[in-house]
């Protein structure tokens, strides 16, 4: 039986705030201690250190933020969506309340997901480190201008890219930005990183799937610099000449799964179809 749970939800979204409060009340009725915090606020360290499960209320963005907050403890995460099917939120509100007893009784399995770690090794931001669940992207600073990025794998130069950006994605992130840029889809429990160029010109335009132990170095060769983005949520401005080293992180994101999906690719197809239908209905 769980003793302490941390609920994270986005700030300023009334349905998410209401649902988080309902979940907290249901959990408290079972004698479990619970804390509720905004995912973008300053979460008290004692809540993170004492929690045995993080319940994320919202969409995939909430889960991505929670996964970074859970480092280095790798706390299990259970995502509860607000009605729109997500890649990282496994339950809707009705399913959560129908199975709350199973959740509190730990009747779930933990699935570990690879994370990507980045360290700025040259430039003004040298020494800064980041970790992401989906991807870390090096992109152009100025609209309409490409960025020049030199790629090396395990200290061996591969190519100089003239492109809109370079994506280093995890298997989880392979269904996101990397996929839209033409990258391959990897099963979420794989241990490989994927390097995908965005709109590359006169260079290798295909993705590279790396060995699990490989290290990628991205060096900015544009005078105007570039932007480093983690999970589409955190940005760092880099000057020309800066370099970033990326590799599989020693930390993993852990997800609490009540039921194993029968087929990852069947599950993926369902989510892609739902998202496409939603976009068409909204006129996107």
Residues acting as catalytic residues = 60
Distance CA(129)–CA(71), nearest Å, equals 13
Distance between CA atoms of residues 22 and 269, nearest Å? 31
DSSP character at residue 7: E
3-state secondary structure of 28: helix
Q: Return all residues near 230 (Cβ < 8 A) that are at least 6 apart.
A: 68, 118, 130, 131, 132, 136, 236
For residue 169, give both structure tokens.
């994605």
Q: What whole-number distance in Å separates Cα of residue 165 and Cα of residue 148?
A: 8
φ/ψ (deg, to 5) at 31: 85, 15
Q: Residue 270 contacts by C-beta under 8 Å, 6 or more apart in sequence?
A: 85
Tell me the torsion sign for CA atoms 117, 178, 244, 191.
Answer: positive
């Amino acid at each position: 039986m769980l003793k302490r749970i941390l609920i994270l939800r986005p700030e300023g979204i009334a349905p998410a705030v209401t649902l988080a409060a309902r979940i907290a009340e249901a959990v408290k009725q079972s004698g479990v201690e619970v804390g509720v915090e905004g995912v973008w606020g300053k979460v008290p360290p004692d809540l993170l250190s004492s929690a045995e499960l993080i319940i994320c209320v919202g969409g995939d963005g909430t889960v991505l933020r929670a996964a970074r907050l859970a480092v280095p403890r790798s706390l299990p995460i259970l995502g509860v969506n607000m009605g729109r099917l997500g890649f990282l939120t496994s339950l809707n509100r009705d399913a959560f309340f129908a199975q709350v007893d199973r959740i509190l009784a730990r009747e779930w399995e933990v699935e570990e997901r690879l994370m990507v770690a980045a360290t700025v090794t040259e430039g003004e931001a040298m020494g800064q480190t980041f970790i992401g669940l989906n991807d870390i992207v090096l992109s152009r600073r100025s609209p309409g201008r490409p960025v020049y990025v030199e790629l090396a794998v395990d200290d061996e130069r591969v190519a100089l890219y003239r492109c809109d950006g370079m994506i280093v994605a995890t298997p989880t992130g392979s269904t996101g930005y990397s996929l839209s840029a033409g990258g391959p889809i990897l099963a979420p429990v794989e241990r490989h990183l994927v390097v995908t160029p965005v709109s590359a010109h006169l260079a290798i335009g295909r993705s590279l799937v790396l060995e699990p132990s490989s290290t990628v170095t991205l060096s900015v060769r544009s005078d105007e610099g570039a932007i480093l983005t983690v999970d589409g949520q955190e940005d760092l401005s880099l000057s020309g000449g800066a370099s970033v080293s990326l590799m599989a992180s020693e930390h993993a994101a852990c997800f609490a799964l009540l039921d194993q999906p029968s087929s990852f690719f069947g599950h993926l197809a369902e989510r892609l179809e739902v998202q496409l239908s939603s976009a068409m209905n909204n006129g996107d």
